């Protein structure tokens, strides 16, 4: 069973034809060869409709028709389709382990501006950016920055990326409008900025393309899931958020509450296991009758379960973004009402494609909204893989080949 939000179109959306399609096939220009500075070249490759659909299914965790997606998403996922060469795998590993790496002879430097890189979702998302960059021979260097949830550091990192020649900057914005002046200055200096997942209402002069779900629709969908999970038309809920003030949580939580939920508790968690355990402990101690916890990151959920189990309390329903192996296996051992989404690491690839399209003179939309279904976890679909570490994000939405998973999990 899954609850799928309706497709909505924000006022800032502009149409663009980002893919060339003929006879059910999509033609994209991709990098082939060694992927090293001396050997990367560009060619055109045909991705069949069936191949693209398989990638879409893997990204979303459900059968969403590729033809229904925005053109920029289709272009990005077409580039993500296919196998990497051993040389590209080796290069991706090397690049992941270094904050600055050379990936080819191209003239464009790609900057990654991460507001907080301290969990497995951020790390697998970074690998998605690297892998997408390897499909562009125009990209010669990748620079990674991590602000560790400090706004001043984030602003400084963006300035440094521009000073170091980054013409494409992608990242998760943990700070909302507070970070927008730094983005605007970067674009005024000639860079193209694209954010993913975090939520943005900034004008195109500040953020060229924001790749995100419709946050209000996501909140309403979470509310529907909470009602289904609890059997109540107006359940009491706790809202757990990540980094304080991040626009993602602010966007969905407001609309979730407006859809008929009653908030009895709220806490920030920094999206870490320790933060989630502390928040759950505080909720239990408060005595507030929360029937469900709404959260935007599934990786720390086992710590919520641990807090309730240790206190000998019934685990409330949990409605959460992303998918996670540790949570899946925790649920398998001790089932409780749980709804979640795919791992949503893949939108970072769309941000890379948006920035590169813009830099090449192409038209890009100010917003790229993607479908965001929530699934009820069952014995048939929970996806627990005991052979993989708990930090593994999950079976869908990842788009990182098995040969690179151990690299990312090693940190």
pLDDT, tens digit, 9 for 90 and up, residues 321-351:
999 999 999 999 999 999 999 999 999 999 9
Nearest Cα residue to 338 out of 382, 377, 304, 373? 377
Q: What is the mean pLDDT of residues 90-107?
A: 96
Checking DSSP bridges between strand 2-3 and strand 374-376, what pairing results, if any?
A: antiparallel
165: left (phi over 0), alpha (psi -120 to 50) or beta: left
pLDDT at 167: 98
For 187-202, the pLDDT digits (tens) are 999 999 999 998 888 8
May I ask the CATH architecture of the domain 2-213+344-375?
3-Layer(aba) Sandwich (3.40)
pLDDT at 317 over 60: yes
- Fold annotation for 215-340: Rossmann fold (3.40.50)
Domain positions in the chain: 2-213+344-375, 215-340
Per-residue model confidence as pLDDT tens digits over 292-304: 999 999 999 999 9
CB 394 within 8 A of CB 323: yes
8 Å CB contact between 106 and 167: no
Which pTM does this prediction carry? 0.89
Q: Do domains 2-213+344-375 and 215-340 have the same CATH topology?
A: yes
Geometric angle at alpha carbon 38, from 35 and 44, rounded to 5°: 50
pLDDT tens digits along 125-174: 999 999 999 999 999 999 999 999 999 999 999 999 999 999 999 999 99
Which pLDDT belongs to residue 24? Answer: 53
- Answer whether residue 228 shows pLDDT above 80: yes
Helix (H, G, I), strand (E, B) or coil at 253: helix
The Cα-based distances of 149 to 97, 271, 392 in angstroms read 21, 11, 22
């Amino acid at each position: 069973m899954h609850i799928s939000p309706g497709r909505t179109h924000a006022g800032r959306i502009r149409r663009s034809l980002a893919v060339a399609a003929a006879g059910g096939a999509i033609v994209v220009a991709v990098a082939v060869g060694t992927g090293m500075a001396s050997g990367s070249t560009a060619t055109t490759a045909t991705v069949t409709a069936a191949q693209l659909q398989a990638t879409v299914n893997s990204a979303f965790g459900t059968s969403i028709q590729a033809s229904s997606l925005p053109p920029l998403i289709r272009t990005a996922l077409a580039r993500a389709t296919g196998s990497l060469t051993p040389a590209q795998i080796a290069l991706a590993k090397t690049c992941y382990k270094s904050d600055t790496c050379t990936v080819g002879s191209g003239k464009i430097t790609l900057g990654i501006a991460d507001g907080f890189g301290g969990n497995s979702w951020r790390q697998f998302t970074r690998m998605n950016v690297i892998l997408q960059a390897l499909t562009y021979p125009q990209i010669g260097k990748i620079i990674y920055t991590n602000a560790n949830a400090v706004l001043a550091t984030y602003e400084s990192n963006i300035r440094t990326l521009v000073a170091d020649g980054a013409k494409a900057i992608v990242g998760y914005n943990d700070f909302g409008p507070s970070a927008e002046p730094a983005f605007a200055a970067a674009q005024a200096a000639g860079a193209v900025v694209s954010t993913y997942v975090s939520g943005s209402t900034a004008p195109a002069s500040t953020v060229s393309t924001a790749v995100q779900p419709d946050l209000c629709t996501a909140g309403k969908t979470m509310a529907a899931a909470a009602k289904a999970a609890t059997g109540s038309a107006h359940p009491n809920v706790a809202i757990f958020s990540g980094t304080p003030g991040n626009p993602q949580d602010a966007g969905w939580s407001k609309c979730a509450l407006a859809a008929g939920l009653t908030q009895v508790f709220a806490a920030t968690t920094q999206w870490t296991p320790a933060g989630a355990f502390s928040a759950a402990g505080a909720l239990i101690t408060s005595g507030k009758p929360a029937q469900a916890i709404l959260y935007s990151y599934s990786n720390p959920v086992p710590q919520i379960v641990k807090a309730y189990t240790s206190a000998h309390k019934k685990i409330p329903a949990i409605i959460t973004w992303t998918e996670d192996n540790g949570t899946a296996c925790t649920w398998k051992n001790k089932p409780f009402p749980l709804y979640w989404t795919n791992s949503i690491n893949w939108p970072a690839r769309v941000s890379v494609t948006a920035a590169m399209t813009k830099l090449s003179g192409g038209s890009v939309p100010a917003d790229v909204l993607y479908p965001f279904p929530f699934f009820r976890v069952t014995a048939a679909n929970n996806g627990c893989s005991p052979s993989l570490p708990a930090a593994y994000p999950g079976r869908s939405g990842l788009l990182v080949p098995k040969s690179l998973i151990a690299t990312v999990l090693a940190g």
